[in-house]
Amino acid sequence: MSATDTELLQAVDSPAQTLAPGRAIAPARTDVRVAAPAREFVRFTRLYRTLHACMIISFITLALTGMSLKFSYTGWAAKLSHLLGGFETAGYVHRFAALIMFGTVVAHITGLIKQKRHGGSTWKAILLGPNTMLPTKRDWHDFVGTVKWFLGRGPRPEYGRWTYWEKFDYFAVFWGIIVIGSTGLTLWFPVFFTRFLPGPFINVATIIHSDEALLATGFIFTVHFFNTHLRPEKFPMDTVIFTGHMPVAELKRDKPREYASLVASGELEQHLEEPQPEIVVKAIRMFAWTALAIGFSVVVWIVYAMVFAYR
């Protein structure tokens, strides 16, 4: 363990003392640790937390309204459709949720542009820097290393800010929005699109829209849920995307490369914040549990519809 490491581990216990020598924080704090909880690492800004919450709401809404049509042959679908106010209302709700999702894409891209302007960095630095969202050679090595670790043939790789499965999730969403969004628009405005596309393209778009949606819901509600929330060391959920915060010890354990580079550059301190108030965390947990519960119910319904009631 390096000297900085030891220092920082202490910092986790009493951040005021070791990490912020320049700041005027009463030294008495060290004695009342219960009253002043450890500061946490800010992984997600408010914008990304909001965008993720919007994604959850729109995605679940789209899944429920869409699946009620896709699995119309199950008794569940008719009940759900009536509950949502009938197929016409469900259709409007579906399109409205789609607009929210398109909105998150616009907000995300706008956010990136703003980030570039404020940070004063170039696109090259953002896209090719160490914290890039784009897949890199290092990700490939991490992937190979991870498989080796799974098989007991090597140590756990030192992941950076974005692990390869997180990048996969991110681009899966991008891909999904492009594929489902474009075919969805075709189905929304069939008369317009058949001005330049042949009529049967609407049939093709229906298949793509519906099956890609099945892939997206199936993936998010099982693989994503497991990889980020249900995996044993995070169980039952990882709230970092909701609160934006994670304990520094967890950063060090989960993203050692990011942690090391923040320590090396001395920037870690800038990324620490007081934890969210108890009530906020409670509300967040309730929201996240609701989302998880609906997601799992949809998975159960899909399995039932595709395995036991398939027509």
Residues that bind other proteins (CB under 8 A): 31, 34, 68-70, 72-73, 77-78, 81-82, 86-88, 147, 149-151, 156, 165, 187, 190-191, 194-195, 197-200, 202-204, 206-208, 211-212, 214-215, 218-219, 223, 226-227, 231-233, 235, 311
CB 135 within 8 A of CB 167: yes
Nearer Cβ to other proteins (219/304): 219
Nearer Cβ to other proteins (21/199): 199
| CB 46 to other proteins: min, Å | 29
Whole-number Cα distances in Å, 287 to 118, 239, 245: 32, 11, 17
Nearer Cβ to other proteins (57/215): 215
Nearer Cβ to other proteins (209/245): 209
| CB 72 to other proteins: min, Å | 4
Rounded distance, CA 168 to CA 229, Å? 16
| CB 155 to other proteins: min, Å | 11
Is cis: bond before 236, omega within 30 of 0? yes
Tokens 């579906």 sit on residue: 94
Provide the edge-to-edge strand list for the sheet that holds 40-42.
245-246, 40-42, 272-273
Nearer Cβ to other proteins (111/181): 181
Closest to 60 (Cα-Cα) out of 233, 279, 249, 289:
289
| CB 283 to other proteins: min, Å | 26
Rounded distance, CA 297 to CA 159, Å? 33
Nearer Cβ to other proteins (51/220): 220
Rounded distance, CA 274 to CA 280, Å? 13
| CB 265 to other proteins: min, Å | 27
Closest to 173 (Cα-Cα) out of 211, 139, 212, 147:
212
| CB 137 to other proteins: min, Å | 20
Q: Is 293 exposed, middle or buried (0-12, 13-18, 19+ CB in 10 A)?
A: exposed
